[in-house]
Amino acid sequence: MNKQSFTFTVMATIGSLVAFAAPTFAAPAPASHGTDAPRVTLEEMRTLASTTANQAERVRMYGANYALSSDAQLSPLWTMKTDINTMGKEIATLQAERGTLQPWEQQAIDKVLPLLKEAASNTEEAIQFFNNNHNYLWSPEYRGYAQKVNQDAAQISKTLKTYLKYEKVQNQEEQLHNTITPGAN
């Protein structure tokens, strides 16, 4: 198999596998787990968002390098799509449990959801551009999609980090209050 047919095969495969990057926001059945589960889910989402931002930056930088083949773009595009879909499923699970979430967890979801939808849309656009124009990945349009995903994913990570810090401080305050208040234990 020569390089040109391999590239075409890879392109066809990636096109069929990642035609759409929009996360699945359908509400799954609520999971039955402890009260730490939503916080753990938000921590996982923060990590995924950070990874997504890094992969989007790789896509943007690779697009600016004329010497790289389009094959170099496959792994970061796939990671972006997978991570965004995972975050979409996780946020749908949290939405299904919204009534049992702490107010700060609900606020975090409300802040992150529009950013995640925008990141999904831009990831989908980047994948479609890749599939249709793999010889023109240096274009500002393609790199612009990656830049927008990077910005949205970085903002998701930063937002979740802030809310998780808030929860930690809130717990420390409660523990301190219980320590200094007689009979609070």
Q: What is the pLDDT of residues 125-172, one digit of tens each?
A: 999 999 999 888 889 999 999 999 999 999 999 999 999 998 888 877
Length of the chain as a residue count = 185
Q: Is 1.20.1420 the CATH number for 35-180?
A: yes
- Token look-up 């249709």 returns 132
Contact residues for 16 (Cβ-Cβ < 8 A; gap 6+): none
**Residue 54 and residue 76: Cα distance in Å, rounded?**
9
* Cβ neighbour number for residue 108 with a 10 Å cutoff: 27
Q: Which of 173, 164, 31, 35 is nearest to 109 (CA)?
A: 164
The tens digit of pLDDT for each residue in 28-51 reads: 434 434 478 999 999 999 999 999
Residue 56, token pair as written in the block: 């989007």
